Structure 1
Amino acid sequence: MASNLNKIGLDKQASNNLSDKLNELLANYQIFYMNARGFHWNIKGEKFFELHIKFEELYNDSLLKIDEIAERILTLGFTPLHTYTDYLEIAKIKAAKNVSSGNTAIQEILKGYEVILPLERELLEMSGESNDEGTNALMSDYIREQEKLIWMYSAYLNQ
């Protein structure tokens, strides 16, 4: 029976399934991250100072999450995707090019969360079912943070 378990005591097949889903999340986060960088660099208008800082906070946070997700994949015994070719092939989030309007950028961020949040919820469920507390805790934290950000960005757009 022990041969069905990986080095951290989790079922190998369940870990493989989690790793695949984590790689999907990783690919989407990489595109989300690059979009946020572009928004930070290209933002214009009366809310420049406010949004420039917000977008920097967003991409810095995304960069930390990207690293955590990749390290979790490695912890489960698998290899994180690490080429933009793979990211672009797998990600549902699309690159947002030459966005300088604050409202458009925030709408793109909210569209990104429409992809990321369901993936995280799916991972939360999968990790709960497979007794993977490490992945479960990450997803729980991400979901809580992002629900608040969605509320805040939506409020900014007066939605």
Structure 2
Amino acid sequence: MKNVSIIGLDKEITHKLVVELNTLLSSYQIQYMNARGFHWNIKGENFFELHAKFEEIYNDLLLKVDEIAERILTLGGEPLHGFSDYLNNSKISEAKNISAGRDAISNLLSGFSELITTQRSLLSLAGDAEDEGTASLMSDYIKEQEKLVWMLNAYLH
């Protein structure tokens, strides 16, 4: 008999998913703080437009942080919750002292590209694990963020 979790998933593969989801959670937390900082510190002629856009972005990121943490719990894992853990596990670097709109947009664009890459990897792993819940979440995030990446890139060009 297979070693399965309470929701019927193989525990060994589920552990791998939890590790990767915690990496994703960490990256989301850093991306969230970067967007929040850009919202607070933006200056220049596009202030009003970018201030509002950064708020929209960080609010969406915050919702996804909660969903990812709850998915980790659903899989029987424990979400990371220390900021030092986020800094150590994130694939996105923290951004400091950025107040120029183009620099902030470029930074967010890079972060979202990294999130998409990580989510694609998780989508594949979730598929192998027959974990529809995680796969569905990753698919939804990828679809949304591909459009956002296109829009952020269009803003820069």
Q: Same fold (TM over 0.5)?
A: yes
> Aligned residues, how many?
157
Paired with 1:78 and 1:95, the residues of 2 have a C-alpha distance of 26
Counterpart amino acid of residue 141 in structure 2: Y
TM-score by length of 1: 0.97
2:21 alignment partner in structure 1: 22
Establish whether residue 114 from structure 1 lines up as the match of residue 113 from structure 2. Answer: yes
Counterpart amino acid of residue 115 in structure 2: I
Contact kept in structure 1, 2:116 and 2:145, CA below 8 Å? yes
Deviation of 1:92 after TM superposition, in Å, equals 2.0
TM-score by length of 2: 0.98
1:40 alignment partner in structure 2: 39
- SS of the residue 2:138 aligns to: helix
Matches within 5 A, 1:109-148: 109-148=108-147
Counterpart amino acid of residue 33 in structure 2: M
Deviation of 1:114 after TM superposition, in Å, equals 2.5
User: After TM superposition, what 4+ stretches of structure 1 lie above 6 angstroms from structure 2?
Assistant: none
Counterpart amino acid of residue 106 in structure 2: Q
1:58 alignment partner in structure 2: 57
List gaps (5 residues or longer) in structure 2.
none
Deviation of 1:115 after TM superposition, in Å, equals 1.6
Counterpart amino acid of residue 104 in structure 1: D
Paired with 1:147 and 1:65, the residues of 2 have a C-alpha distance of 15
Contact kept in structure 1, 2:27 and 2:92, CA below 8 Å? yes
Deviation of 1:143 after TM superposition, in Å, equals 0.2
Paired with 1:91 and 1:75, the residues of 2 have a C-alpha distance of 21
Counterpart amino acid of residue 118 in structure 2: L
Counterpart amino acid of residue 134 in structure 1: G
Establish whether residue 7 from structure 1 lines up as the match of residue 2 from structure 2. Answer: no
Q: State the Cα deviation string for residues 62-95 of structure 1 (Å, max 9, x = none).
A: 0000000000000000100000111111112111
- Give the CA RMSD over aligned residues: 0.7
Paired with 2:16 and 2:138, the residues of 1 have a C-alpha distance of 15
Contact kept in structure 1, 2:71 and 2:134, CA below 8 Å? yes
List gaps (5 residues or longer) in structure 1.
none
Q: State the Cα deviation string for residues 4-31 of structure 1 (Å, max 9, x = none).
A: 1101011101110000000000000000
Counterpart amino acid of residue 55 in structure 1: F
Paired with 1:115 and 1:150, the residues of 2 have a C-alpha distance of 11
